[in-house]
Amino acid sequence: MRVTGAGGVDRSALPAGRAWWRGATGYEIYIRSFLDSDGDGVGDLAGITAKLDVLDRLGVDVLWITPFYPSPGKDQGYDVADYIGIDPAFGTLDDFDQLVQAATDRGMRIFVDIVPNHSSDQHPWFQQAIADVDSPYRDYYLFRPAAANGGPPNNWVSHFGGPAWTLDPAGSGEYYCHLFLSEQPDLNWANPAVMEEFREILTFWCERGVDGFRIDVAHGLTKDPEFRNNPQVREITLGMHPKDVFASFDHVHDLHRPETTKIFETWRTVVEPYDAVLLGEMDVRNIERFTEYVGGRGLDAGFVLKLASSRWEPATILSDLLTYERAALGGAAWAVSNHDQPRAVSRYGDGQVGVRRAAAVTTLMLALDGITFLYQGDELGLPDAVLTGVAMDPVSTRNGGVAGRDCARGPVPWDSTAVNGFTTAPVAWLETAPLPASLTAAAQIGEAGSTWERYRAMLDLRRRLPDLWSEPFEIFDRQATSLVIFRGPLTVIANLDDKAFEFVPEGEFHVEFESYAGAVGGDGGHLRIEPEATIVLSRREPDGRAIAESAEVTHGHR
């Protein structure tokens, strides 16, 4: 029997064609920190359902929810012990069905995180693999003999510190591979049985009304069949951060293997009947590699992760945006923040400076083809959280307290009550300093001039002005720190410089949006775009004809 969710989600009523996601705006929900509905200090599915009206009012089209599967929680849910269940901390399958139904009723879509590179070491597959070396599940994972000296099979390292190999606890003498924690053994995608398992997993969630999958570590599934050493590109020094240790190798044998794209071509045949989307998290800083994943019959789109980790370097930001816009051909997912990196407001300078800069870049992203995501709290202008309790991120706890990802994962501040209204428990799962009333949803929603209202108007642009992302992309003026583009009758001007930018459009025009109040001024048609701002203009001749070709830049930055 087909499972369609609570009450039965009538997918036939949804728009046809997998390209529905292009031009959409998404919203990442880090479930542990969104809203706790039952007072245990941990966010949950019912908490998301309770706030759908707020997200609908904001203008969100797609909700991406981080893992909610049963898990020991060694990596906050990215160590999955059951791919078709719900961890009791987050609710039940009934709660999930109710969320899908409630979102569908509001015209929203649901993306879920899927974690195919590795499972938890508590997954029944792995437990059977170590219990019996002759079990068929042994080949679900990457077990290898020790090196001649008895150590790990090769020089691969973990993202989270130390070797990417751990000795089989059952005493076989073999090592198993894990590119992350030792509690996250990598799956063996050279084994067709693993593909069959994931066919069933993907189908299960599609049948429950899921509209897409954000694929964790999409670039890491396949490994070199010979398990050769990765070339080392720089010296590793004492006390080096795990990220820097990882970057000290050229990962030609454990990541970015050409076989990986074939996996997603098969996945597509599974999800196509459901009109569902495959969205990859590929940590690739190379545009050619990026397009290998999204340029054929594999993934629909991939996150441009450089933009969610970069500091305030306007020339680099604009260069990266244009590079991926040209090459991705609509297959890009844009975001300035996510749960793995410090928040954009803090990376861009903190306070109102950071808020202003983040809004300018996000506005420009909305004028690019693909899908643009907010990370929960972007719409409030949240900075990095300040940890007041124990660290929870294993990057920090297992490496002597180095900087981890907790700063991006603080609970959403809903109001000014205890724990900022996130939970009725005395403390949240991650203890952070309370945020001021000005940064809470209660203070900003409906308040003219607030960051939340600015973002609501920003997200409305794509619905109100579909030309913004769908019309031909024409660069009218490109400077190192500024950009003028035409989209049919629309002009988008991004001035990321620290000086004002002057522009003279011909004919009638209307300011549709400015990324902060007072970002555009001037008189007599002579526009002055203030520093670190993006504006959207509609321009028409008196008879309504578009006049994209008639504008001019007269002075540039001043």
* Interval 224-247: pLDDT, tens: 999 999 999 999 999 899 999 999
Ordered by start, the domain boundaries in the chain are 11-116+199-462, 469-557
pLDDT, mean over the chain: 92
When mean pLDDT is compared across 14-28, 57-71, 343-357, 507-521, the lowest value belongs to: 14-28
Task: Name the pLDDT band for 158 (thresholds 50, 70, 90).
Answer: very high
Average pLDDT over residues 342-349: 98
Four-point Cα dihedral 19, 22, 26, 28, nearest 10 = 70
Is the Cβ–Cβ distance between 164 and 158 less than 8 Å?
Answer: yes
- Pick from 164, 158, 278: which is nearest to 214 by CA? 278
The pLDDT of residue 548 is above 80: no
Is the CB of residue 129 less than 8 Å from the CB of residue 169? no
If pLDDT is split at 50, 70 and 90, which confidence band does 296 have? confident
Residue identified by tokens 């403390």 is 427
Q: Could you read off the pLDDT of 385-419 as tens digits, one per residue?
A: 999 999 999 999 999 999 999 999 999 999 999 99
DSSP string covering 542-557, please?
A: TTS-B-GGG-EEEEEE
The pLDDT > 90 percentage for the chain reads: 86
Mean pLDDT, range 109-117, rounded to an integer? 98
Q: What is the CATH class of 11-116+199-462?
A: alpha beta
Structure-block tokens of residue 482: 């500024």
CB atoms within 10 A of CB 158: 21
Question: What average pLDDT does the segment 140-145 reach?
Answer: 98
Under the banding of pLDDT at 50, 70 and 90, the label for residue 17 is very low
The pLDDT score that the predictor gives to residue 286 is 79
In this structure, how many other beta carbons lie within 10 angstroms of the beta carbon of residue 32?
A: 25
Residue 12 confidence class, pLDDT cut points 50, 70, 90: very low
Residue 18 CB burial class (10 angstroms; 0-12, 13-18, ≥19): middle
Q: Cα–chain-centroid distance for residue 432?
A: 23
Q: What is the dihedral of CA 63, 93, 302, 309, to 10 degrees?
A: 70
Bridge partners, residue 42, by sequence: none
List active site positions: 216, 281
Average pLDDT over residues 16-26: 80
Kindly state the tokens that stand for 510: 């209307």
Average pLDDT for residues 199-214, to the nearest whole number?
A: 98
pLDDT at 7 over 60: no
CATH number of 469-557: 2.60.40.1180
pLDDT-derived band of residue 223, with 50, 70 and 90 as boundaries? very high
Residue 187 binned pLDDT confidence (cut-offs 50, 70, 90): very high
CA distance 196 to 420: 45
Mean pLDDT of 467-476: 94
- Contact indicator for 523, 487 with CB cutoff of 8 Å: no
Q: pLDDT, tens digit, for every residue of 486-509?
A: 999 999 999 999 999 999 887 788
- Least confident window among 445-449, 480-484, 518-522: 518-522
Please give the average per-residue pLDDT across 59-87, as a whole number: 98
Nearest to 26 by CA among 345, 338, 380, 296: 338
Confidence class for position 14, pLDDT limits 50, 70, 90: very low
Confidence band (pLDDT; 50, 70, 90) for 287? confident
Confidence class for position 461, pLDDT limits 50, 70, 90: very high
Distance CA 71, CA 94 (A): 18
Q: For residue 521, what are the β-bridge partners?
A: 528
Lowest mean pLDDT among 85-99, 370-384, 504-518, 541-555: 541-555
Query: What average pLDDT does range 139-166 have in this prediction?
Result: 97
Q: What gap in Å lies between CA 329 and CA 484, rounded to an integer?
A: 19
pLDDT score of 295 = 73
Q: What is the mean pLDDT of residues 322-332?
A: 93
Minimum mean pLDDT range among 314-328, 371-385, 531-545: 531-545
Q: Which parts of 230-286 fold into alpha helices (H)?
A: 242-246, 260-271
DSSP string, 454-515: HHHHHHHHHHH-THHHHS-EEEEEEETTEEEEEETTEEEEEE-SSS-EEEE--SEEEEEEES
The pLDDT of residue 524: 65
- pTM score, whole prediction: 0.94
